[in-house]
Amino acid sequence: MSTISEEFIARLGDALGASNLVSDPEHLASYASDETPGGEPRSPTLAVTPQNTAQVSATLRLAREYGVPVTPRGAGTGLSQGCVPSSGGLVLSLEKMNRILEIDGAGFTASVEPGVSLAALAEALAAVGLAYPVHPGEMTASVGGTVATNAGGMNAVKHGVTRHQILGLEAVLASGEVITTGGAYVKCASGYDLTQLITGSEGTLAVVTRVTLKLTRLSACREVLFIPFDRLEDAVGAVAEILKLPETPYGIEFFERGILDIVAEYLGAELPYREHAAFLMVLMEGDAADAVHEYFAAVDAVCQRHGAAPSMVPGSQRARRKLLDAREKFLPALRRYTALEILDIVVPRARIAGFVSQTREIGERYGIRVITYGHAGDGNVHLHPVGIGLSQAAWRERLPELMRELYQAGIALGGAVSGEHGIGLAKKAYLPIGCSPETLNLMRAVKQAFDPTNIMNPGKIFD
Ligand SMILES: Cc1cc2nc3c(=O)[nH]c(=O)nc-3n(C[C@H](O)[C@H](O)[C@H](O)COP(=O)(O)OP(=O)(O)OC[C@H]3O[C@@H](n4cnc5c(N)ncnc54)[C@H](O)[C@@H]3O)c2cc1C
C-alpha cells in the first residue's frame, strides 16, 4: 500500500486547487470499484479531478517526484478492474474534462476531452446528422476509457472497434510531458504509430487528455432481424454466408436460450421464440426501410438454408427497442447471481460453435454452469461462469482452474484472452496463457520506456 505525504498533498492542492482534490473516505470509496462482477473494492488514498491538460501534467510531475502510483479513471464501467487502484495511491479521474471541443461535419471528425460520455457524444452528433459508431453496451462509458480499453461492442462488424475510429490523441506522459499523436487526417506513415500504442494500453503508458475521432453519417434507418435456431452450431454456421452478401450489417449477435430466460425474468417481459435453443440478431442500417428489409430477406434465405425457424423483424420502434434493450440487459440481469464471472475470449469467427460446446463440457466437469452469448460477427464470446447451488468455498476453489481451462481452450483455437474488456487486474494471471514470454518482455520494455519509475497504473496487465 503506497503512502502519500502531507507535503505531496499540499503541493497538489497548490497546483490544482482544493476543489479538485478528494480526500473524504466516502467519496474515495466511489472510486474503489468498477463494474467487474465479484471485483474486490480497493479505495485510493487520494483522488484528483483535474479540469485541463495542464492540471493532469502537474499531477503526474508531482506523482513522479514523490513516487505515488496514479490510476486513471473514466466512468468506472470497465469489466477488468483497470481503473481500480492496485495498492492505494492516487486516482486521477477525468470526470471534469468532459467538453466536446469541435465537431467538423465536413471532415467527419470530432475533437473531445476524455471525460465525455458516449451518450453525450451521440446526442451532440445526432443533432448534426453524424454518429460515432463504437457502441459498447454501456453508453455512460467515457471516450477516454473506451480509448484506453480499445472498447468494442455490437457495431464492430461494419465499423470496427475503438482503435479503428481514433485518428489522434493528446496524452500526458508519466514525466508530465504532453505529447500529440496523429491528427484529423486518415492516413499517416510518419514513424511509429503512438496513437495505436496508447489505444488499448489501459492507462499504463499515458493519460489521454484529448481524442480526435473519426465519424460517420447518421443512418436514417436502423433495423433488427431476429432469427431463432434449434442448434447454436446452425446459428453461428450461418454467419460466414451472411457476411458474403453484398452488404455488411453493423452487428451480428448470438445467444442461447438460457440467457434469454434470465433476461426475460429480470425485465418481467415476455420475449419471443423462447422455445428455440439459439438465436442470431442481425443489425442493419440504411437510408430507407425498404432497402434494409430487402437485405433482411436475403439474410433470412441464408438462415433457412442453415435450418433456422422463420425470422422476425419487430413491427414497431417500441418492439425493436424492447429487443435491443433485452440484449443490452444481459449483464445487469446476470448480476442476480452473486457467484458470477465474466470472460470475453475472442476466437476466429468460424470456431465459435466448437468453442462454445467445449466451454459447456468444461463447465460440466467443474459443476459450474457457463452461460454464453456474444458478438458472432467478430468471434468475441462472452462467457459467464455462474455458481448456482454451489457453496462460496467450492466456487472459490474451482473457479481459477475452470477459468484457466476456458482460456486454454480459446487460445488453442487461435484466440486471445480478451477481445474488448482488457486485462486490468482481473485477468492478468491469465494473460501469459495467450502471450509468449518474449511478447510479454517486449510489452514490459515498452512500459519501461514510457514510465521508467512505474507510477502509471502499476500492477495492471502484468506485474
Ligand atoms: C452493462 C455493460 C456492458 C458493457 N458492454 C461492453 C461491450 O459490449 N464492449 C466493450 O468493449 N465493453 C463493454 N463494457 C465495458 C466498459 O463499458 C468499457 O470497458 C469502457 O471502455 C470503459 O470505459 P470507462 O470510461 O468506464 O473506463 P474506466 O472503467 O473508468 O477505465 C477503464 C480503463 O481505462 C483507463 N482509463 C480511463 N480513462 C483514461 C484516460 N483518460 N487515459 C488513460 N487511461 C484511462 C483506466 O485506468 C482503466 O484501465 C460494458 C460494461 C457494462 C457495465
Ligand 1 pocket, 76 CB below 6 A?
Answer: yes
Ligand 1 pocket, 137 CB below 6 A?
Answer: yes
Ligand 1 pocket, 431 CB below 6 A?
Answer: no
Looking at residue 273, what is its pLDDT? 81
Identify the CA nearest to 344 among candidates 187, 179, 87, 150: 150
Longest Cα separation, the chain: 71
Phi, psi (rounded to 5 degrees) for 138:
-115, 105
Ligand 1 pocket, 200 CB below 6 A?
Answer: no
Ligand 1 centroid to residue 224 C-alpha, Å:
26
Looking at residue 123, what is its pLDDT? 98
Atom number of ligand 1 nearest to Cα 161 = 11
If pLDDT is split at 50, 70 and 90, which confidence band does 78 have? very high
pLDDT(3) > 90: no
Identify the CA nearest to 399 among candidates 417, 435, 426: 426
pTM for the model: 0.96
Looking at residue 57, what is its pLDDT? 98
Q: Residues 112-166: pLDDT tens digits?
A: 999 999 999 999 999 999 999 999 989 999 999 999 999 999 999 999 999 999 9
pLDDT(272) > 80: no
pLDDT(329) > 60: yes
Ligand 1 centroid to residue 86 C-alpha, Å:
17
Looking at residue 2, what is its pLDDT? 64
Phi, psi (rounded to 5 degrees) for 355:
-65, -45
pLDDT(101) > 60: yes
267 contacts 249 by C-beta, under 8 angstroms: no
d(CA 51, CA 360): 48
Ligand 1 pocket, 203 CB below 6 A?
Answer: yes
- The protein residue with its alpha carbon nearest to ligand 1, atom 45, reads 203
If pLDDT is split at 50, 70 and 90, which confidence band does 455 have? very high
Ligand 1 pocket, 69 CB below 6 A?
Answer: no
Looking at residue 163, what is its pLDDT? 97
Can you tell me the mean pLDDT for 398-422?
Answer: 97
Burial class (CB in 10 A: 0-12, 13-18, 19+), 360: middle
- The protein residue with its alpha carbon nearest to ligand 1, atom 11, reads 151
Atom number of ligand 1 nearest to Cα 162 = 11
Looking at residue 270, what is its pLDDT? 80
**Probe target for ligand 1 pocket from 149, 420, 457, with the most ligand atoms within 8 Å of CB:** 149
pLDDT(456) > 60: yes
CA distances from 330 to 228, 313, 340, 381, 405 (A): 18, 20, 13, 13, 24
Looking at residue 157, what is its pLDDT? 95
- The protein residue with its alpha carbon nearest to ligand 1, atom 3, reads 137
- Grid cell at residue 359: 466451454
Can you tell me the mean pLDDT for 30-48?
Answer: 96
Looking at residue 236, what is its pLDDT? 92
Ligand 1 centroid to residue 150 C-alpha, Å:
8
Ligand 1 centroid to residue 285 C-alpha, Å:
26
Ligand 1 pocket, 420 CB below 6 A?
Answer: yes
Looking at residue 351, what is its pLDDT? 94
Looking at residue 232, what is its pLDDT? 92
- The protein residue with its alpha carbon nearest to ligand 1, atom 44, reads 203
If pLDDT is split at 50, 70 and 90, which confidence band does 1 have? low
If pLDDT is split at 50, 70 and 90, which confidence band does 322 have? confident
Q: Residues 175-229: pLDDT tens digits?
A: 999 999 999 999 999 999 999 999 999 999 999 999 999 999 999 999 999 999 9
Identify the CA nearest to 76 among candidates 63, 86, 91, 89: 91
Q: Residues 366-377: pLDDT tens digits?
A: 999 999 999 999
Ligand 1 pocket, 331 CB below 6 A?
Answer: yes
